[in-house]
């Protein structure tokens, strides 16, 4: 699979399809840049012509022994137009630069938003399979690459190409012989550049892969900084990072050496081209078929021609790297989420909460089957608890209700409707999901809670926090509800994070609650208070509680016992104890000292 990625070259068609929606938004600016570029090119090409005329005028007047006053009068119009040309170039250049910078910034920002929208809509599985740092690097690299490509196109390719053909066209008109001689190095250097693109593509893609791996490792390390420090892993982490970086540099150097060799070869060819112009031009001046002014004009044109070609060739390495990055982002852009709305998906305002799992099976891509033919009916308004050892499939069961995953076989229905036929947004707005590990945004507590309902009043937010037993500890913080919780809620304890997550769900007020180890990080006193509050909240709501602490599920209407992806027992607490089996074993273990 990795080799396939490495061999996969740049597809301009994929990239264009991805960036076109952003590019076409600013169509009205492109004609302005084109007109200004043409105007600047024309003025740039005309300038050596005026300079050549000035030289010829001086040579002629000196040769003819013209009086100084008359000679100077003949120069004044040429100098005047030269000055006007410089002022015109300055004016047009200012507008051209502003327009180019504006389009580059607007284009990259629009594309960054569009790409983020595509990525955020991908399946949860996609982000579970890749390191966050790698995903973040690819995202940042993509819109940065588009900015570079756009800037390079206008400044490095379009402008340089116009200068090249403008100078060449005027040169052919003035003296076609010198123009053809000036062209000799051009095909040589273009061939070298295109050859370099071909031979460096594979190594550049591999280098990009390893640079992404570096970011992924660093992001993983920063997310787990506590574990690294606890096990004195700083040196090991640095060594691993250094090894990955050195590997990336090794591949990058392969690319850079090839480009350096190409530029090293192209330099002497330009020198030879200038020598050929001097040699031929000098001969033509001596035999009277051209003038010194024309030769000087051509030396200026040669600088335009060679400078333009060199500018294009020097831009190729950066452009190639940028296109590789955009090509990688196209993987995200083109990916169609498995979990998405079906055509004519039904939008529901508020579900009643009658849930049915009908022969539901699910397995991960690695072949591990997690759920085997689950049959379960949770009547509206009842509380069902699910217990079992780690890996029994409880969390997967809960996530499938939210459509984070779809069944490989069977169906899940709410109020008799297959959840795959429901609009995703309306389905999830009807389910409040509190996980064991609740990630908070690096934002204030009030914004973290109101994320469930952005338009909620502060009074409603405080009420939700009170019901989640969070209000008292929030009031005790220096900035209260305006306290910023830090990255992933790092400034709060596990129990405090869980209570804020509960407050968020309670603010949403959904008809269905899923509590996946929602009180596992709480102390016994807080948990006892919260359980009483939750029992009040659970009234008239369909609730699924997943817990390892059996003391938290004793009051459930039904307790489901999971083992290796199957439901092996079901009933009330007393019934399961009398019946024996796994539930009784769990109870005896916990009653024996774990609770």
Consecutive sets of 10 residues in the chain, 595 residues long: mean pLDDT of each? 48 89 85 86 75 65 61 69 78 82 85 88 80 79 87 83 81 81 79 73 73 72 69 78 81 75 67 75 79 74 77 79 86 87 91 94 79 93 89 86 90 94 92 78 89 89 88 90 81 81 88 80 65 73 85 85 91 89 84 47
The token pair at 7 is 């061999």
Rounded Cα–Cα distance for residues 219 and 242 (Å): 14
What pLDDT sits at residue 559? 93
Q: Which two tokens stand for residue 246?
A: 């050195």
pLDDT at 595: 41
pTM confidence score: 0.73
Distance of alpha carbon 224 from alpha carbon 276, whole angstroms: 64
311: nearest Cα among 346, 266, 356: 266
Q: Give the model's pLDDT for residue 379.
A: 94
CB 23 within 8 A of CB 114: no
pLDDT at 495: 76
The alpha carbon dihedral of 333, 335, 339, 342 has a sign of positive
Give the integer Cα–Cα distance in Å for 538 and 518. 14
Nearest-angstrom CA–CA distance, 503 and 452: 9
Q: What is the pLDDT of residue 3?
A: 39
pLDDT of residue 264: 67
Do β-strands 558-563 and 409-414 pair in parallel, antiparallel, or remain unpaired? unpaired
- Beta strand 409-414 with 355-363 is antiparallel
Q: Coil, strand, or helix at residue 24?
A: helix
Q: How far apart are CA 164 and CA 44, in angstroms?
A: 11
Cα-only R_g, the chain:
35
Domains of the chain (ranges; CATH) run: 12-334 (1.20.1560.10), 380-392+423-594 (3.40.50.300)
Residues whose CB falls within 8 Å of the CB of residue 353, separated by 6 or more in sequence, listed in order: 380, 381, 414, 415, 430, 511, 512, 541, 542
Instruction: Answer whether 549's CB lies under 8 Å from 520's CB.
Output: yes
**CA–CA distance, 211 with 141 (Å, rounded to integer):** 11
| Residues paired with residue 374 on neighbouring β-strands, in sequence order | 360
């Amino acid at each position: 699979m990795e080799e396939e990625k490495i061999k996969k070259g740049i597809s301009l068609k994929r990239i264009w399809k991805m960036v076109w929606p952003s590019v076409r938004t600013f169509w009205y600016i492109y004609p302005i840049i084109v007109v200004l570029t043409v105007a600047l090119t024309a003025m740039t090409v005309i300038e050596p012509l005026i300079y050549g005329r000035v030289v010829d005028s001086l040579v002629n007047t000196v040769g003819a022994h013209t009086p100084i006053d008359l000679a100077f009068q003949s120069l004044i119009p040429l100098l005047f137009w030269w000055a006007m040309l410089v002022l015109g170039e300055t004016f047009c250049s200012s507008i051209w630069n502003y327009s180019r910078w504006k389009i580059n910034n607007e284009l990259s920002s629009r594309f960054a938003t569009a790409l983020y929208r595509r990525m955020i809509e991908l399946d949860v599985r996609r982000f579970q399979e890749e390191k966050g740092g790698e995903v973040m690097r690819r995202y940042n690299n993509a819109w940065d690459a588009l900015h570079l490509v756009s800037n390079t196109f206008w400044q490095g390719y379009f402008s340089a190409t116009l200068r090249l053909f403008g100078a060449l066209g005027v040169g052919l008109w003035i003296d076609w012989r010198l123009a053809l001689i000036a062209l000799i190095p051009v095909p040589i250097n273009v061939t070298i550049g295109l050859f370099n693109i071909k031979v460096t593509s594979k190594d550049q893609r591999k280098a990009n892969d390893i640079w992404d791996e570096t970011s992924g490792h660093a992001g993983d390390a920063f997310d787990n900084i506590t574990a690294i420090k606890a096990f004195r892993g700083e040196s090991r982490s640095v060594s691993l990072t250094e090894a990955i970086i050195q590997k990336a540099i090794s591949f990058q150097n392969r690319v850079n050496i090839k480009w350096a060799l190409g530029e090293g070869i192209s330099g002497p060819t330009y020198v030879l081209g200038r020598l050929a112009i001097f040699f031929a031009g000098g001969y033509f001046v001596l035999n009277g078929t051209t003038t010194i002014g024309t030769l000087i004009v051509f030396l200026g044109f040669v600088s335009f021609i060679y400078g333009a070609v060199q500018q294009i060739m020097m831009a190729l390495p950066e452009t190639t790297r940028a296109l590789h990055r955009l090509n990688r982002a196209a993987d995200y852009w083109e990916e169609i989420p498995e979990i998405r709305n079906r055509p004519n998906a039904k939008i529901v305002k508020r579900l009643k909460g009658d849930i049915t799992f009908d022969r539901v099976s699910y397995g991960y891509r690695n072949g591990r089957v997690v759920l085997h033919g689950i049959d379960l009916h949770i009547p509206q308004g009842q509380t069902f608890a699910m217990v079992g050892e780690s890996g029994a499939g409880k969390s997967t069961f809960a996530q499938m209700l939210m459509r984070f995953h779809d069944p490989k076989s069977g169906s899940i229905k709410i109020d008799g409707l297959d959840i795959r036929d429901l609009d995703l947004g309306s389905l999830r707005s009807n389910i409040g999901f509190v996980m064991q590990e609740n990630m908070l945004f690096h934002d204030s507590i009030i914004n973290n809670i109101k994320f469930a309902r952005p338009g909620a009043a502060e009074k409603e937010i405080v009420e939700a926090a009170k019901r989640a037993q969070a209000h008292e500890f929030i009031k005790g913080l220096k900035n209260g509800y305006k306290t910023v919780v830090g990255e992933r809620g790092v400034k709060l304890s596990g129990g405090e994070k869980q209570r804020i997550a509960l407050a968020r769900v309670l603010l949403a007020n959904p008809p269905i609650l899923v509590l996946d180890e929602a009180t596992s990080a709480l102390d016994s006193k807080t948990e006892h208070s919260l359980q009483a509050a939750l029992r009040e909240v659970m009234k008239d709501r369909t609730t699924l509680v997943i817990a390892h602490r059996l003391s938290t599920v004793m009051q459930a209407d039904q307790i489901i016992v999971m083992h290796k992806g199957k439901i092996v027992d079901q009933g009330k607490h007393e019934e399961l104890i009398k019946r024996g089996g796994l539930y009784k074993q769990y109870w005896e273990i916990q009653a024996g000292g774990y609770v």
